[in-house]
Amino acid sequence: MTNQKLPEVDIFRIISILIVVIAIHIPISYAYNFYLDLDQYGVFLVNNVGIYVAMGSFVFVSGFGLYLNPNNRNLRSSKKIFSFLKKRFIKIFPLYWIAIILFLFFVGYSDFDPLYLMYHFFGLQIVVAPHFGPPMLTLWFIGIILIYYLIYVILNSLGSIKLIIPASICILFFFFFLSGVFGLVENRFYLYYSMFIVGIIVASIYTSPLYNRIKERLRTIHPTVLLLIPLCSAVLGFIALCFLTQFTYSSFISEFGNYNLSFILQTNPDFFELVTIILRINLIILAFILFTISSFNFVFRVFRLIFPKRKIESAVSVTAYSTYSVYLFHRVFLAIFIAFLTITLNLNMQLRGNFYIVIIFVPFIFVFSYFIQKASDGLWKLVSKFKKKIITSLNH
């Protein structure tokens, strides 16, 4: 199967980054905190569940997207592994390093521990975080995803999708060993680990011959009947999401006297408590994934009956292209924008009405990030072309 872009997955990534920016970061750090208007369960639902499902969705899409690309499968030679790691390095590290530098000046990390900063530059912050304390805001996720990419190489080199689950469990226990014996690895690594594995497994099913045969048979059904499949899945996902969030909230309150996962994890729960917590959060993330992707699959199927397929996918793809840069730089953009509003225009950003001024700025973050991503990709293409010219001239 050739590499393919799924607009449902792209818009899923867009929704996830919007949750992070609008529902999590803006009201807490940059504008009026609308959590003041919510009850305790509302805060849990928007802030706590919001960050779980957003980051879990990113991790799921990462695993899914990796395996969906046929060039990333069967990494059983050193050449293929090197090519895979090189592409990931080029895609992640240059912009990530720029983000770290900007965070030192704009996000209040000017007095950051130099040794811990070095670990951040190599993407090892999640491994050593228990010794140093919390890693940089937002950028902690890069440390997790880099480890997951290395795990993907190990899993993919096994040569059989059937071995992914037992191998991933063995790898998980290896990290538990590092935590128990050496006090390494922050808990967020475990929180999202299974979402990465699930993403790989779902992609393997999606690209399997059996699934392709099922899709061919479904295409013979009338289009209006096909709309019922994603619609029913979306309803099922929504019902599961509502039930699981209420159940998890009640469980956290009764067991720990608090609904905030960060606080609960700081109490150092024992192994079985930690596994139970992670299971509850992962079920919420899975329900959100089912609800969101099914909903947008339904919407896209409806739109395709009205609009050309290419136009729909192109608009979504262009927006999704900028999400990595949006994630890395949105705090910097927001810090600069808020400073302009407060210093130049003398606006009080803690007033409820001024919250919407910041929201209006969010589309511009996507535009700026798009050009940053485009410039980065263009630079590496020029470097690649220049390198090829040098090699060609040397060979001649």
Q: According to the per-residue pLDDT averaged within each range, which of 206-210, 243-247, 252-256 is highest?
A: 243-247
**Predicted confidence band of residue 218 (pLDDT cuts 50, 70, 90):** confident
Crossing angle of helices 140-156 and 164-182, rounded to 10°: 130
User: What's the average model confidence in pLDDT over 337-366?
Assistant: 92
- The domain ranges of the chain are 1-37+310-396, 39-209, 224-306
Q: Is pLDDT at 299 greater than 90 in this prediction?
A: no
DSSP 8-state assignment for residue 73: S
Over range 231-256, report the average pLDDT: 94
Q: How far, in Å, CA of 224 to CA of 240, rounded? A: 25
Where does the pLDDT of residue 5 fall: very low under 50, low under 70, confident under 90, or very high at 90 and above? low
pTM listed for this prediction? 0.90
Which of 44-48, 74-78, 311-315 ranks highest by mean pLDDT? Answer: 44-48
Assign 311 a pLDDT band (cuts: 50, 70, 90).
low
* Residue 52: partners with Cβ closer than 8 Å, 6 or more residues away: 191, 261, 281, 284, 285
- In the chain, what percentage of residues exceed pLDDT 70? 94
Residue closest to 339 by CA, chosen among 366, 361, 315: 361
CA distance 301 to 186: 41
What is the C-alpha separation between 9 and 18, in angstroms, rounded? 14
**Mean pLDDT confidence for 151-174:** 88
What would the two tokens of residue 323 be?
Answer: 């999400």
pLDDT at residue 75, as a whole number: 83
Radius of gyration of the chain (CA): 22
pLDDT digits (tens, 9 = 90+) for 110-132: 888 999 999 999 999 999 999 99
Give me the pLDDT at residue 240, please: 96
What is the model's pLDDT at position 312? Answer: 62
In whole angstroms, what is the distance from residue 113 CA to residue 308 CA? Answer: 53
Q: Evaluate if residue 219 carries a pLDDT over 90.
A: no
Within a 10 A sphere around the Cβ of 340, how many other Cβ atoms?
12
Please report the pLDDT score of residue 396 as a whole number: 59
Averaged pLDDT of the chain: 88
Write the burial class of residue 231 (CB in 10 Å: 0-12 exposed, 13-18 middle, 19+ buried): middle
| Separation CA 295–CA 50 (nearest Å) | 18
Q: What is the sign of the dihedral through the CA atoms of 177, 180, 186 and 187?
A: positive
State the DSSP string of 185-226: S-HHHHHHHHHHHHHHHHHHHHTSHHHHHHHHHHTTS-HHHH
pLDDT tens profile 270-295: 888 888 999 999 999 999 999 999 99
pLDDT digits (tens, 9 = 90+) for 26-35: 998 899 999 9
Count of other CB atoms within 10 angstroms of residue 41:
14
Is the pLDDT at 147 greater than 70? The verdict is: yes
Report the pLDDT value the prediction gives residue 151, as an integer from 0 to 100. 95
- State both tokens at 152: 């993907």
Longest dimension (CA), the chain: 74
The DSSP string of 103-150 is: HHHHSS-TT--HHHHHHHHTT-HHHHHHHH-S--TTTHHHHHHHHHHH
Quick check: 387 pLDDT over 80? no
Res 8: pLDDT: 80
Q: Which of 141-145, 260-264, 348-352 has the lowest mean pLDDT?
A: 260-264
Top-ranked range on mean pLDDT: pick from 30-34, 222-226, 311-315: 30-34
| pLDDT at residue 372 greater than cutoff 50 | yes
Percent of the chain's residues with pLDDT above 90: 58
Question: Would you call 190 exposed, middle or buried from its count of C-beta atoms within 10 A (0-12, 13-18, 19+)?
Answer: buried
